Every structure is written in structure tokens, then in C-alpha cells.
Structure 1
């Protein structure tokens, strides 16, 4: 048994005075010496926290004791060290940004796709009348995805509503949605139903639970996670690596953030290119005066900064860090 655990969870449940709750919850987490990242919104909780076995048990027990969150499904990983550096608990408008002008029209507590347990998903996924839909961002599915899954070209889940028209050709199919832990599928499946899709399903507990309960069969590559582990193994049945190094094209599953904080591109880079490029995606970034020291991990604590995008002299990339799961 390892000394620490990492908990991945979410719960759609209305929270009154959610902004005040976020501050109180932060103090509670700190009292347990937990580290991680939690988003609190009027609609519920979305978090990943890490700490000792005892602290994680105390956290889960306390959350489950609150009737608002009694149904919370925790995905628990045993880890050698905490998966974060600091503890953050912030209030936001949504626990996962939907990109909808009026997100209230989609309420996962009222209507979502049919929840499939991992065994049911495994039994259905290869049928001819089924389409597997990855609702995650491109940087996530590039490092790992289900075999034959439809993958959307989106930099962030908030772009998902813009892709609905592209999915219209699958309206006569059973659509099996999946994501890391299940939270994005709650809104993605609800939106598909709202837009007239009839046979919509979602993988309950996401990729993480699928790996734990049925061995991860046919999940190709690794699963991107939103902590300093970056990507974790899922497939214990027929594993493979599908991602390639951004710089040289070699097969690699290692994802990093560019060492230039004004670029911060999230990309796959092999160890050889990592040291050669000093953790940067390009020579321009390697020579940038603000380049952060590279220690081989490509993981940096997020520091708020003001960036003048108009003055960039290199390719514009989405602002992503390892500390966000939207």
C-alpha cells in the first residue's frame, strides 16, 4: 500500500452561497493537509485532491456525510507522493465550462445520457450501430483515446457546442460519450439530447473507472490527468502508445508545458528532445528571456501573469497548464 492517495470526483448538486462555501471548503482541505484543485459553483463540486490515506478517508467521509454530496463517486488512485504542490479551491460560474450562453438550459440533475458502467460500455462499444465519442480536448485525446473513437478538434470543452453540427451524421447511431472521470459527459450528453439526438449514453466514472474495473481494454495510449502525474496508464489488456514527440516525431507519451511561460504550449515531447530543447517547443521559446528552468518534468506551478498576445512572434497556442481541467 502506498503512502498517499489521489481522489478524482465531481457532484452536480445545488450549493447555496457557493462562493462562501468555497472559502470554507478550502480551509477544511488545508486542515487535512490536502493538496489539489477544486472548483465550486452553484451547480456543484469538481475536484482532484491528494494527501495521506488518513486525510483522504477523512475528506471522503466528510463529503459523503453532507446530504448534498452523498452520491459523490470518488475515483481513488494509490500514489507514491502527493499529486499537487498546493491547495486551491475556487468559485466559478460552472464546475466545467460548457461554452453555452445560457448554461442553465442544461441541467445534468434533470436529464443526461444513459449511464453505462464500464462492463456495459465494453460490451457495447464495438457494435455496428454504436459511435464512441471523445468529448475531451485535443491535447487530452492526442496522448490517449479509445480505439476507433470520434475525436473532436477542440482546444477546450467550452468549444464542444460548436461541434454539434459535425455530429449530426451520427444521429441514427447509439452515441457512447466518454471523458476522464465523467463530468464532461454529464453536460455533453445532456446537450446532445437537447439538440435532438435520441440514443445517447455516457461512460459512468470515465476512463479512470473503466481502467480500474475492466482493465482498460482498447484504450490506446495513456489517460491525461490534471495533476503533476500528467498521464497515467489505463490499459492492462492490450496497451499501446499513440502519441508522438512534437519535435522529432518519435513515439512518446510524455506531455509537458513549454518552458517559455508566454507560450506555455501543452505538447508531447520525448526525453531526448526535452533536454535538447531545454523543455521548449521551438528555438524561439528556447531563447526567450523569461524561459523557466527545465528539470526534466515540464511541470510548473502556475503563476498569474499578464501577456501581450499581440506582440508574440511565434505560433499562438491555447493558454493551458497542468493545473486546469476545464
Structure 2
């Protein structure tokens, strides 16, 4: 039996005095002995936490007992090691950054796409009048995606609104959106409806729930997750690897963060190139003086950055 659980969840619900709530919630999580990352905003909660089964159950019971979060859908993974090394709870403007804060356009509590349970999504996804739309970032869908899904060339979810014109060609189709845990689809589907798309659906619970309840059928590759596992298996029915090593082109399911902390880019790299490149994406990063020691995992505890240093990619807790 696994020693720990990892919980993935979100809930759109109004939180008054969110900054104080975040501070109190951090204290509560630490008292339970949890590690993880939680975003608190006026619009709700978005979190991934890891701890003993007892601590995770106590956390879920407490969250669900709060009427504001009573409908929270927790996805639970059994893991052998904690998925985080610290506990962070941060107050931000949104629980998933879309750049759209007008409640008349984006308000998941009032209007979103029709939620499809995994079995219903599986039955609909291959119909002729259906488009399956991945609303995640490049580095996520390069690692794994549904067969024949439409993917978008975006670095962050905040780039999604700019893709609406590109998606206009599918307005006469049924649009089935999906993401890791469901949170991005709440806003993506709301925006599509606002822009005149009439038949919009979303995979309830995202890829993670689909893997648990539908065996992950037709999801190719692995699913990127926002913790030190970096990716998880989804498909137990007809799995295949679709991602390739950036350096040599060999098929590999392994995704890492570049060992150069001033880069930290997410990319796929085979073990052989990982050893040869010391976990770096390029020769320039490999020769960087602040290069971290590569231990084969490609996950690193966050290192403080020098003033005025810009990362190419920054991991954010979304989905």
C-alpha cells in the first residue's frame, strides 16, 4: 500500500478577504502535516497537496464541510513519496490565470460548457460532428493528448483568448474541451460560449479523472502534472508514447525541467541525452555557471533567482 496520497482539486466559489483566508489556510495545512501548493483568489481555490492518507482525509473533510466548497471534486492518487517538499498557499488575482476578469464574460459559477463524465466524453469524442479541444500549453500536450485532438500553440493559458479567431472554423461543431483536472475548461468553455460557440462541453475532472474512471482509453502519452512527479500514466487500455527527445529525436515519455535555473524550461529528454547534457536543454544551459546537479529526475526545488533575471518558462499551479 502506498504511504501517501496526492490530492488535485479546485472549486470556484466566492471567498471574502481572500488574503486572510490564504494565511489561515496555510496554517491549517501545516498543522495537518501536508505539503503542496494552493492558490487562493476571490473566485475560489486551486490546489495540489500531498500527505499521509489520514492527513489528506482530514483535509478533504474540512474543505467539504465548508459550504463554499461543498461541491469540490477531489482527485486522489496513491503515491510512494510526497509530491512536494514544502507547503505554500498564495493569494492571487485568479485561481487559473486567464487575463479575463470581467465576470460578465467569465464566471464559471454562472455559465460554462456542459460537463461530461468520463464515460460520456469517451462515447462522444469520436463522433463526426465533434472537435476535441486541448486547452493546455504546448509543453503539456507535447507529452500527451487525446487521439486526433486539436491542440493550440500557446505557452500559457492566458494566451488562450487570443486563439478564438483560429477556432472560429469549428463553430458548427460540438466542442469537447479538456485539460488536466478541469479548471482551465471552466474558463475556456465560458469564453467559447461568450464568443458565439453554441455546443460546448467539457471533460468533468479532466484527464486525471478520465484515467481513473475510463481507463484513459485513447489518451496517447503521459499527463503533465504540477508537482515533483512531473507526469503520470493515464492510459491502461491502449497506451502509446508520442513525445520525443528534444536533443536526439528518440521516442521518450520523460519530461524534465532544464537544469539551468535561469531557463527551467519544460521539455522531453531521453535518459541518454539527460546524462550527456546533464539535464540541460542546450549547450548554453549546460555551460551556465548556476547549472543545478542533475539527478536523473529533472525536478528541482525552487532556487531564488538573482534580481532582474527572467525565466523562459515558470511553473504555475493551474489545473
Alignment partner, residue 248 of structure 2:
248
Alignment partner, residue 23 of structure 2:
23
Alignment partner, residue 158 of structure 2:
158
Q: Give 5+ residue unaligned stretches, structure 2.
A: none
- Residue 300 of structure 1 and its aligned partner are, at CA, apart by 0.9
Residues 240-287 of structure 1: per-residue CA shift (max 9 Å, x gap):
000000101111111111111111111001111111001111111111
TM, length-normalised to structure 2: 0.97
TM, length-normalised to structure 1: 0.95
Residues 21-76 of structure 1: per-residue CA shift (max 9 Å, x gap):
00000000000110000000000000000000000000000000000000000000
- Residue 3 of structure 1 and its aligned partner are, at CA, apart by 1.2
Alignment partner, residue 320 of structure 1:
314
How many residue pairs get aligned? The number is: 319
Say whether the 8 Å CA contact 1:155–1:318 is kept in structure 2. no
Say whether the 8 Å CA contact 2:38–2:317 is kept in structure 1. no
CA RMSD between the two structures:
1.4
| Poorly superposed stretches of 4+, deviation over 4 Å | 307-310
- Residue 325 of structure 1 and its aligned partner are, at CA, apart by 2.9
Residues 172-202 of structure 1: per-residue CA shift (max 9 Å, x gap):
0000000000000000000000011000000
Change in CA separation of 1:101 and 1:76 when aligned onto 2, cut-off 3 Å? closer
Alignment partner, residue 314 of structure 1:
none
Say whether the 8 Å CA contact 2:138–2:154 is kept in structure 1. yes
Change in CA separation of 1:104 and 1:18 when aligned onto 2, cut-off 3 Å? farther
- Residue 309 of structure 1 and its aligned partner are, at CA, apart by 6.0
Aligned-partner Cα distance in 1 for 2:180–2:120? 17
- Residue 302 of structure 1 and its aligned partner are, at CA, apart by 1.4
Alignment partner, residue 185 of structure 1:
185
Change in CA separation of 1:252 and 1:307 when aligned onto 2, cut-off 3 Å? farther
Aligned-partner Cα distance in 2 for 1:286–1:318? 15
Change in CA separation of 1:307 and 1:142 when aligned onto 2, cut-off 3 Å? farther
1:93-242 alignment to 2 at 5 Å?
A: 93-100=93-100, 102=102, 105-242=105-242
